[in-house]
Amino acid sequence: MSIEERSGPELIVQHTGQVFPLGPTDISIGSQEDNTIILADPSVSPHHVVIFWQADMGAHFIDDLGSEQGTYINGVLIEAPRMLRHGDSIRMGNTVMDLKLPPLPAAAVAGTPPPSDLEGSKDSSKNPIWAGILIAILAGATIICMALFAILLMTGGKGTPTVIIQSPAAGAQIGVGNEIVLQATASGAKDIALLELRVDGSLVATSSDPNGASSLTVTKAWLFTTAGEHVISADAYTASDKTSKPASVKVTVLAAGSRLTPTPEPDQPTDTPTPTVTPSPTPEDTPTPTSVPPPQVEYFQASPASISAGDCTTLQWGKVSNATEASIEPGLGGVGTPGAETVCPIETTTYILTATGPGGTTQASTTVTVIGGLPDLTIDSISFVPSPPLAEQENQVQITIRNAGIGAAGAFNWEWQAGSDAIFDGRIYGLGAGETSVVTLLWSPAQPYESLVTEAQVDVDDEVLEKDEDNNRYTAVVQVIEAEVEPVTIALTSESALDGYRLNDGTGSSSKDILIGNGELVNPAGELVARGFMSFDLSDVQAGATIESAELRFYQKEIQGSPYEKLGNLVLEHVYYGASLDDSAYNTPALGTAVLDMETLPQAWYILSDPTIVTWVQSSLETGLSRQQFRLQFSQETDGDGQEDWIAIQGGGGILGSREAPQMIITYIP
């Protein structure tokens, strides 16, 4: 048979009509600039495929270089080197190339040698010479193929790891504030110890195995905050100090409000037109169709269609014809066609592509199945005991933290802040799905507040990948009030060693009855005047206290003569005579005076609650006096009749014992 005349082998890009010749040298295809053929397709990997010439087979072969989305020949994913044939359709990402090859010898196509020019009309299978040649060719081809695969296997096991960035795709467009998942994988060596992931040269995540592993994967949720071009890169290191060739992709981050740049409609090649929609033939006398066809979506798919919780996938869609606009929901909005976009759903999600044109609306859908679930840390409440909390008092704060997700959460930090008054923090070492944890702390506000803003936050350092990252804060506005201090009441018994009386002749007694009046008393030499004294220790009253009430109680056990008739009123004086009762106390200056209205009956308790006594006690505390001391005397201390006129009050050391000793009942506010 004659061989058809044609040019050499060629690759023709469907959408652009670009032609790339094939020769005996290897041709690499990818999005990175060091490739032989560079494709400006974000869904094409940096080094996607290689096409090489196999001289022994007289044919070109294609091999996928571990691309992210794979390589398809005539719609079938290739998993090993494959021989190319005339008319093959090669799809890499969203780019489709058609292969034009000169007719191959039968040996290359079917594994048989071409027929001889001398015996072309004969059946070669019946010719023993050609049969031998056929067997030799088949054996040689088998050996060559086995060697080829051995070489391919060996090149992946030399010990130097290979790094692939799986997400995002090179050239991807991302809106500012949209969270994506960065993911890279290292393989090709048996002792990979460390995989590092960087954004614009800064380390953001690592994955390591101290024992070395055959593969490592690193994943990091990331949020770009600035528009422009950004570089994601990854490097791998083995335990034997071998370093991978750096892998990197560039993405474009669009400013808020910007739309993703639509891919322009490609021009159809003139020599191989491939219309998306074939219009129905019309009669020559009716050139215009009677109706406008609806939009048609070439394809819409997710790769992969199933992911684990926290992982990402790539939505891919082909050309949309007969449409003026296209959008994808949820989350993407308006899109250009064809195109691709990385999505990271946290639960099983069906994405719908809606195309609208003059002929109506067409929808296509694809479902991403999410296996497993994510935690969702939130704060249910902040409560106070007592409520409202009290200023300058110790209050209990309870923060209820809950995992509202369907996956368990690892360890995370929490924080609670009450304005600028206080900050508390701590750590919770894991929380199962649906579980709650109550954090309890003690807080003493420095002052009252009409409305104080308090805020609690969980997962402060973003350690946990969650279903919802925007519900980690809880704010509570609280009123802080003055504490109502309970008054304190104490009963003070007089100091027996400082109770007693003094006479105007310089004599007197302590620890006995308190005598007030005149007469011979214990000295028959003449009529003497007696003044009584009481002392109370104030050390049990809190410093800075405010005295609310003070009562003086004493027991009048005896009356001699007619002191209340002859000597006038009984006078109570605030004095301070110190730590001993001596002669000087008789004339110690009075700090205050009060006239008492006394009963004339003996053997009776008298309770004096005059406000003046409150003033005296408060003054003693404020001036630093350690004791509250009193002096009792009659307003007219002698009548000159030579008769005894006096009263006796039970002192702290008297015969009746301490039960009848003078007392002071003091109530104060601390």
pLDDT exceeds cutoff 80 at 587:
yes
Question: What mean pLDDT do residues 263-277 have?
Answer: 43
**Tokens 């409560």, located at residue:** 383
**Does residue 567 carry a pLDDT above 70?**
yes
> Average pLDDT in the 3-7 region?
41
Sheet holding 306-308, edge to edge: 306-308, 360-371, 349-357, 325-329, 333-334
Say if residue 4's pLDDT is above 50.
no
Q: CA angle at residue 363 from 359 to 368, to 5 degrees?
A: 165
d(CA 95, CA 563): 126
pLDDT digits (tens, 9 = 90+) for 362-385: 999 999 988 878 899 999 999 999
pLDDT reading at 133 higher than 50? no
Residue whose pair of structure tokens reads 């959008």 in the numeric block: 327
Tell me the mean pLDDT in the region 574-587.
94
Distance between CA atoms of 537 and 617, rounded to whole angstroms?
11
DSSP-assigned letters across all residues of 458-501:
ESTT--S--S-TT--EEEEEEEEB---PPPEEEEEE--GGG-EE
- For 47-106, write each residue's pLDDT tens digit: 999 999 888 777 889 999 999 999 999 988 998 899 888 889 999 999 999 988 765 444
Which pLDDT tens digit goes with each residue over 195-216? 899 999 889 899 988 888 888 8
Report pLDDT for 222.
Answer: 83
* 154: pLDDT strictly greater than 80: no
312, amino acid identity:
C
Which of 136-140, 200-204, 494-498 has the lowest average pLDDT?
136-140
> Is 246 buried (19+), middle (13-18) or exposed (0-12) by CB count in 10 A?
exposed
pLDDT in tens, 594-610: 988 776 678 888 888 88
For 280, the token pair is: 């129905």
Q: What is the 3-state secondary structure (H, E, C) of 385-412?
A: ECCCCECCCCEEEEEEEEECCCCCEEEE
Counting residues of the chain whose pLDDT is more than 70, the rounded percentage is: 83
**CA trace torsion 569, 573, 578, 584 (10° rounding):** -50
- Return the higher-pLDDT residue of 201 and 291: 201
The set of residues, in sequence order, having a beta carbon less than 8 Å from that of 453 and lying 6+ positions away, is: 418, 419, 475, 476, 477
DSSP structural state of residue 243: B
Which of 162-176, 499-513, 582-596 ranks highest by mean pLDDT? 582-596
Mention every residue, 6+ apart, whose C-beta is less than 8 A from residue 19: 10, 11, 12, 13
pLDDT reported for residue 32: 93
Q: Tell how strand 37-38 and strand 27-30 pair up.
A: parallel
Higher pLDDT, 107 or 387: 387
Distance CA 250, CA 253 (A): 10
Per-residue pLDDT for 558 more than 80? Answer: yes
- Phi/psi for 647 (5° steps) reads -120, 160
Residues 6+ apart with CB under 8 A from 141: 56, 57, 111
Instruction: Tell me the whole-structure pTM to 2 decimals.
Output: 0.36
Segment 222-243 mean pLDDT:
88
Look up residue 535 and give its two tokens: 């002392």
Q: Residue 159 — pLDDT band, cuts 50, 70, 90?
A: confident
Nearest to residue 319, comparing CAs of 351, 352, 293, 297? 297
The residue-averaged pLDDT of 412-438 equals: 92
Calpha distance 333→327 (Å, rounded): 5
pLDDT at 134: 41
pLDDT at 188 over 90: no
pLDDT at residue 291 is higher than 60: yes
* Residue 329 clears pLDDT 80, i.e. is over it: yes
Question: Pairing mode, if any, of strands 627-634 and 645-649?
Answer: unpaired
Residue 370, SS3 per DSSP = strand
Compute the distance between CA of residue 574 and CA of residue 588 in angstroms, rounded to an integer: 10
As a residue count, the chain comes to 670
Rg (CA), the chain: 52
- pLDDT greater at residue 139 or residue 402: 402
Residue with tokens 């370093």: 243
pLDDT band at 284 (very low <50, low <70, confident <90, very high): low
Q: What is the pLDDT of residues 604-643, one digit of tens each?
A: 888 888 899 999 999 999 999 999 999 999 999 887 777 8
Give yes or no for a contact between 639 and 566, defined as CB atoms under 8 angstroms apart.
yes
Closest CA to 513 of 492, 528, 534: 534
Strand pairing partners for 645? 518
The residue among 226, 188, 186 whose CA lies nearest residue 209 is 186
Backbone angle region of 640, left / alpha / beta, with phi > 0 → left and psi within -120 to 50 → alpha? left
User: In whole angstroms, what is the distance from residue 634 CA to residue 516 CA?
Assistant: 7
- Say what the pLDDT of residue 421 is: 73
For residue 256, pLDDT beyond 70: no
Average pLDDT on 284-293 reads 61
Of 4-8, 122-126, 628-632, the range with the lowest mean pLDDT is 122-126
| pLDDT tens-place string over residues 467-495 | 899 999 999 999 999 888 789 999 999 99
> Closest by alpha carbon to 468, among 407, 416, 381, 383?
407
The percent of residues above 90 in pLDDT, for the chain, comes to: 48
